[in-house]
Amino acid sequence: MAAVSVAKAANLSPAKMEVDDSPKGDGLKQYHITKIEELQLVVSGKTQNLRRLQAQRNELNAKVRMLREELQLLQEQGSYVGEVVKPMDKKKVLVKVHPEGKFVVDIDKNIDIANVTPNSRVALRNDSYTLHKILPNKVDPLVSLMMVEKVPDSTYEMVGGLDKQIKEIKEVIELPVKHPELFEALGMYALRERRVHVTQEDFEMAVAKVMQKDAEKNMSIKKLWK
């Protein structure tokens, strides 16, 4: 019986080997290889998606930090912007603040007096008027548009004895802005900028204030005067 069992086992072994090497076994192997490749592609796609999400997370975190810093700056007290007229001594300078006037202010200990030159733009603290920062001379146009200006209650009637000059100023400044079609009808281009030379500074300021009132806070006219 033992010999028969060994013979049967010997006869079955080649058959089993033939089954492993049969086309059916090759197909199963190829199936597993294909499945592994598909799963590797899925893993690769998930990895790339993870990296993309991590980069997006870092970008959003950077925006959040920037917005928090901006919010913190907005919650702080604003500073007055002035123009240096001249240094008075090593610790004080004469600064012109529009429209309040001229002030002799102290310099913060972190500011070098050598960098405080005439006509430079500076920031003054809201409470003590201390010069605490030197600003760039070039103003961002977006910042200029966001500036809030106090419009006076003056009218043209308050400027007496200068009717002719007021008419000329209005024709040069207001007419091209408010009625450009008049210039187009004559075949002329309404220029966006005018240079007005006025010898009387008080008259110039008076007409400018009246124009701000009369033009109903027209931003174009304000920019022309700037």
- The CATH number of 80-138 is 2.40.50.140
Map residue 37 onto helix, strand or coil.
helix
Q: Quickly count: other Cβ atoms within 10 Å of residue 54's Cβ.
A: 10
Report pLDDT for 79. 85
Given a contact cutoff of 8 angstroms between Cβ atoms, the answer to whether 136 and 121 are in contact is yes
Check whether 70 has a pLDDT greater than 50. Answer: yes
For residue 67, pLDDT beyond 90: yes
pLDDT for the residue 142: 67
Contacts of 202-207 spanning 24+ positions with Cβ under 8 A: 203/159, 203/162, 203/165, 206/154, 206/158, 206/159, 207/159, 207/165, 207/166, 207/169
Q: Is the pLDDT of residue 225 over 80?
A: no
pTM (2 d.p.): 0.37
pLDDT in tens, 145-196: 666 666 667 777 777 777 888 888 777 777 777 877 877 777 766 555 555 5
Residue ranges covered by each domain of the chain: 2-74, 80-138, 145-225
Separation between Cα atoms, residue 86 and residue 105, nearest integer Å: 11
